[in-house]
């Protein structure tokens, strides 16, 4: 029970990678706050904060708090963080997983799509971190983990989808900046990104359908990597851009077949790698 009595606040945790991380940490004793927008069933999207909470609750001795939250609105963020603290008496780990994606090029991207990505990915991550910092300062081994890629200024990554790259790199810049800013408080700030595409709703509905799903890994590989990162000492594990497979390899795990959706297909490298 590596995370017994720890409280983990996860944005966008009703499905996909966020839920997988919640399930993993719950199985290790953590209290989980699932903060996401989906409260009513959607035929195109699996699950709600309530169905996710039911699944997570079965994993371990900790408790689960489902909260409806749109991270675009800072007052809602403040309210959600306050409810989490009132329920669990603090926050030990913040996982900024909520994200929007649109791979349109500059000429094709609508202003509202640009704003959505930057409001959720950058602004939401910034103000979620801001709201949690006072409580992380009081925690033992506090961590912030952003689901975003390593920073790489190779023009290749900007040419294909400039607006999306800017937004995801914004999340990574927040982690890099907070690692330095919060070092005296021993609050870790890192990023985590998958080496391959992950079988999520975004991949299914927006990127490549079942063809790409069959060439992806399951969200559990990212969850397992997060599990190892978040138990490392916060004062010495900060400012890193982690890749899931590299984290697991460092832990002595070399067989990744169990994470493949279909072991007969060649895996597809994820964006930014």
Question: For the purposes of burial, counting CB atoms within 10 Å of the CB of 265, is it exposed (0-12), middle (13-18) or buried (19 or more)?
Answer: middle
Rounded to an integer, what distance in angstroms lies between the CA atom of residue 44 and that of residue 42? Answer: 5
Rounded to an integer, what distance in angstroms lies between the CA atom of residue 175 and that of residue 96? Answer: 10
**Number of neighbours of residue 106 by Cβ within 10 angstroms:** 11
* CB-CB contact of 118 with 166 (8 Å): yes
Question: For the purposes of burial, counting CB atoms within 10 Å of the CB of 102, is it exposed (0-12), middle (13-18) or buried (19 or more)?
Answer: middle
228 catalytic per annotation: no
* CB-CB contact of 93 with 9 (8 Å): yes
Distances (CA, A) of 191 to 1, 147, 168: 24, 6, 11
In degrees rounded to 5, what are phi and psi of residue 55? Answer: -65, -45
**230: nearest Cα among 73, 45, 8:** 8
Print burial letters for 134-162: b (CB count within 10 Å at least 16), e (below 16): ebbeebebbbbbbbbbeeeeeeebbeebe
Q: Name the catalytic one among 135, 164, 169, 259.
A: 164
Rounded to an integer, what distance in angstroms lies between the CA atom of residue 184 and that of residue 30? Answer: 26
Rounded to an integer, what distance in angstroms lies between the CA atom of residue 260 and that of residue 42? Answer: 26
**Residues designated catalytic:** 164
């Amino acid at each position: 029970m590596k995370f017994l009595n720890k409280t983990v606040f996860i944005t966008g945790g009703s499905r996909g990678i966020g839920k997988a991380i919640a399930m993993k940490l719950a199985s290790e004793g953590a209290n989980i706050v699932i903060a996401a927008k989906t409260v009513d069933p959607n035929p195109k999207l699996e699950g709600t904060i309530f169905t996710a909470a039911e699944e997570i609750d079965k994993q371990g001795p900790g408790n689960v708090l489902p909260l409806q939250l749109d991270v675009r609105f800072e007052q809602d963020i403040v309210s959600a963080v306050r409810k989490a603290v009132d329920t669990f008496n603090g926050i030990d780990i913040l996982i900024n997983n909520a994200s929007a994606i649109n791979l349109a090029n500059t000429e094709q991207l609508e202003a509202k799509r640009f704003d959505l990505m930057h409001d959720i990915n950058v602004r939401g991550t910034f103000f979620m971190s801001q709201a949690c910092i006072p409580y992380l300062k009081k925690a033992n081994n506090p961590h912030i983990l952003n689901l975003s890629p390593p920073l790489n200024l190779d023009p290749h990554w900007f040419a294909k989808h400039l607006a999306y790259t800017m937004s995801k790199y914004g999340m990574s810049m927040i982690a890099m900046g907070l690692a330095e800013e919060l070092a005296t408080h021993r609050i870790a700030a890192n990023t985590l990104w998958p080496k391959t595409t992950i079988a999520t709703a975004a991949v299914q509905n927006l990127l490549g359908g079942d063809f790409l799903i069959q060439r992806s890994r399951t969200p559990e590989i990212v969850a397992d990597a997060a599990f190892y990162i978040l138990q490392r000492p916060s004062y010495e594990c900060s400012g890193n851009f982690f890749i899931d497979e590299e984290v697991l390899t460092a832990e002595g795990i070399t067989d990744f077949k169990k994470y493949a959706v279909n072991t007969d297909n060649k895996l597809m490298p994820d964006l930014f790698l």
